[in-house]
Chains A and B, each alone.
Chain A
Amino acid sequence: MAWLGEIDLGTKAAPVTGPMVSLIIDGQAIDVPEGTSVMRAAALIGTNIPKLCATDSLEAFGSCRLCLVEVEGRAGYPASCTTPVTPGMVVRTQTEKLKKLRRGVMELYISDHPLDCLTCAANGDCELQDQAGAVGLRDVRYGAGASHLGQAKDVSNPYFDFDPSKCIVCSRCVRACDEVQGTFALTIDGMGFASKVAASQAEDFFSSECVSCGACVQACPTATLVEKKVAEIGTPDRSVITTCAYCGVGCTFRAEMRGEELVRMVPWKEGKANRGHSCVKGRFAWGYANHKERILNPMIRASIDQPWREVSWEEAITHTASEFRRIQAKYGKRSVGGITSSRCTNEETFLVQKLIRAGFGNNNVDTCARVCHSPTGYGLKTAFGTSAGTQDFDSVMAADVVVIIGANPTDGHPVFASRLKRRLRQGAQLIVIDPRRTDIVRSPHIEAAEHLALRPGTNVAVLTAMAHVIVAEGLVDEAFVRERCDWSEFEDWAEFVADPRHSPEATERMTQVPAANLRAAARLYATGGNGAIYYGLGVTEHSQGSTTVLAIANLAMATGNLGRDGVGVNPLRGQNNVQGACDMGSFPHELSGYRHISDDATREMFEGLWGVPLDDEPGLRIPNMLDAAVDGVFKGIYIQGEDILQSDPDTHHVSAGLAAMECVVVQDLFLNETANYAHVFLPGSTFLEKNGTFTNAERRIQLVRKVMQPMNGYEDWEITQLLARALGYDMNYAHASEIMDEIAAATPTFAGVSFAKLDALGSVQWPCNAAAPEGTPVMHLGGFARGKGKFVRTEYVASEEKTGPRFPLLLTTGRILSQYNVGAQTRRTENSRWHEEDRLEIHPHDAEQRGILDGDWVKVASRAGDTSLRALITDRVAPGVVYTTFHHPSTQANVITTDNSDWATNCPEYKVTAVQVGRSNGPTDWQEEYEELSRRSRRIEAVAAE
């Protein structure tokens, strides 16, 4: 796509639900919805009224006085941005008087602005420059006198600079921070001539509360706030719309390029997931794509104690195929398998599972969703019939009560969190169920009505107690349940939850949630209007993860909070393509579209399509693969885009499993931790270098477009195809779109999806088929996918992970805004300046008991292992609970987590580990040994000079 700056209509669109208003602008008649501004109406007929403080992503402000117009029959010169259209209005946008007024206003702005346009970073991309031209400014009479010129730049932020000498105090940055991001980090400090933009309490940007979402930079009409990359490279000359590769929100961006070089990522206004907003990761943290540690050549080695040897693609692929065939010949067909990645595209995951099922001839394929949202798939399929969330993100703007369970959206899903916060500022009520006091509990203009700070591991008890209140107090939406759900199953469930042992008072002792607060939360959710539940890994990563998902579904059905806008059950997916990886048949027991491998009709359809017989037995899940490896019967694995050594629980067990295999193939951007145990390394491509699709948390399928050639030589799906061919299984795709065509042909919920349709519509949400050719924003509108909604009893079963004298504290893990998952990408960007290491959050009471001071090295020990990191003392966690992130391999938080898992899916119980914490002198012996192993494992043989 050629470079096109996005059109800015000046003010937001008015709701189209109201009546239309007819008016005349410069002699042209136009009809627009009531509430539209004169500025926007004019822009819609191609008349761009000069403006500076107005932009269509923000509420009209009316401060710059440049957009003045004349309205027949009215005195004065109203600002067109704050003047709504009225029936019969006659507007003139260009008169001699207006020209003179605008020139005068602009002259004043320019008199206090540096005239260094030719060397300015925004030269050619500056609204002030454009508007000076638009109003015909030719002379500035006010040369001498006080000015703001020469003020010092703030270059503290790693991604953008703030140059106050170029600021025109239009407040767009302040308003963007307030309205779009919702952080309220910026303000206009001082009055009159002394007015200036200030971050927090006049701090530098890096030290302030600014979260570097980039909204202020995007809103700035001058070069006051400008990306360092633009200053370094120059302005872009083309752009490509693509989809972010971080988190399940699925923001779409304009990748703005100069030649083959990426200049900046700017959130796309038309993107339906992000609506023009971004976070620090997607907006700025893409520098890993050309980081010096990226591996671009294939490498092999005979054993993991040897250095790597760079080889040609042909040698690497031939060697890999021969190793897999050798292993299968020696140990049997089911002795090998593979892992697809939620960071890769739908087409790539589909192809990996196809390679394993059709090429390896078994179903030993799994995906990283195993360790995050597999209970969502199980629970929602059981209750509603579809393994997916029910709403689109827009739905939150119609919610009256939002319940967040085990999720930290401001850190994990920041762009969705900004929209959620906007709705909360409009008056929606908030309930947070989380052991930690996450930022959303109390932030500017937001305070949760209830924060149920439960003891980790007691989700089911808390949610069943909420159900008890709803049933016992007669708050059930009986009409909904009778119409939409199985009534007899409901009656059985209602009788179960009504038992006094499930009352908040009875469960308080184990959950540590005060009964009165729990009752208040249940009443609010059931009676407060549209109730929407959003949840994350704090729900799923438990021994009863699937039961908790069922308990959430029960609550939503019992209160009628399903099947319309503003309600629903919404899993916030961790990685960018968790939903897609699951949809594509990455689980060992099911083919694409969640159809069990034992289903003869489905399997036979795939056999016909793929030309080979398929195994009708479920394969091994990731933890089962590792167990089988330790048992000596699973010997080879193909891992695309995952780092199981760092991300999966019980690191010692993972490393033992990997070490026991004879051929570990890692396809990735970097020599990740898993690659320490690999025999073949196949260099992968970044999201900037490939075509494909990602499916976000709202089932939205969006195009990933190649913006530059793959530095490693191949898109990831092409590498899988090479491997398949070398294994003797022919694949002949010329483009990723052909893989999607196959997915659509084989998967009923994707039947209407094609690259052409996605290109035309921007995105679609599955199901997308003959019944819903443009997709399905909200599911279960007239009834559930499975027919009647299914209520399931949810008895609380305490985790086997118990605290006691040896391990008296409970550890729970999570993530932080600036880092992503195992940090493979974000650690290789400037984001690490915000989070250089994992820290252990510990309550002041627990710290004092142990003589721990803030910043001390502490050892965290569980029955699985121990590691050391530094302490962060905070009452954000409750006494008895400690918390850490898992972004840094030097910490390896998963050395501590155990092999306990969800009963239905084997999703690990990351969120509950009994630990002891004590002071230490620094890294443990194991950490030092591991560091040495990593160093040795990353040696690459020098290539002899030719």
Chain B
Amino acid sequence: MQVYLPIAEMSVDALLLLGIGFGVGWLSGLFGVGGGFLLTPLLILIGVPSAVAVASGANQTIGASVSGLMSNLRRGTVDVKMGLVLLAGGFLGSALGVQVFALLRRAGAVDVVVALFYVVVLGVVGLLMVRESLRAILRRRRAGPPARLHEHFWAHGLPLKTRFRKSRLYISVIPPLGIGVVIGFLSAIMGVGGGFMLVPAMIYLLGMPTLTVIGTSLFQVVFVAANVTVLQAWQNGTVDVVLTLLLVAGGVAGAQFGSALGTRLRGEETRALLGAMVLAVAAALLWDLVRVPDNPFAIGRTPS
């Protein structure tokens, strides 16, 4: 069944979009991440223009994350104060990101810059994930001493210290604000929620307890994605809501199956698998940048 995407101005098989949504949703349910980092490259692969894929990817992230946020709010595992600090940074970062995106579009560099960001960010995050999870697996085998609650380093010596009661932290607001800005910026450029970067940042940089990490990151992801969606639609006109809704429909179905399987896997193995997948996506995108293109020329409508 073909469906015409009014903003992308192309005709795509609706079942293909539902299937991509389902597959990404399944993996995101399994690994507990939004899956935007897989979705946007897949959309570009099937011929959706990069600009539309990024903007609609951010839009889709809202749908993929909202139910998770709601159940975390109900369980009281969201540190709202921390979330608001992250969000303040996130709004700033994503507003900046959308401006940069508009500039790139005018320079005709969106495709390459988006791909480069993916390669670098996914490469680094994937390597860190694989390394960390392999260490955890080895540590478990050797049954060594448990890790400390959290490490103290320079970031904890900054001014503007605030108490985050729910996360049992007394730290400066500058690190979470900074993390918010960076993730917000990447979210706008890459069309991802950023959960896969935010969660490790919260654990390793802020030292937040695992209990509040997922809920709080979802809080940030949903609102930053909403901000990116509105700004992309407003400034670049690249959000395709038909595309978004098809992906969300497939995604929520897939996520339920994925999370059912996810509860049966061990944390470290899941993280190692996720890391390997992130690395595979990065490698595929890098290959696309390095190999000699079939046609060095590309045409497109001149962006206004």
Is B a genuine binding partner of A? no
Q: Please give the residue numbers on chain B whose beta carbons come within 8 Å of chain A beta carbons, in ascending order.
A: none
Interface residues of A, Cβ cutoff 8 Å to B = none
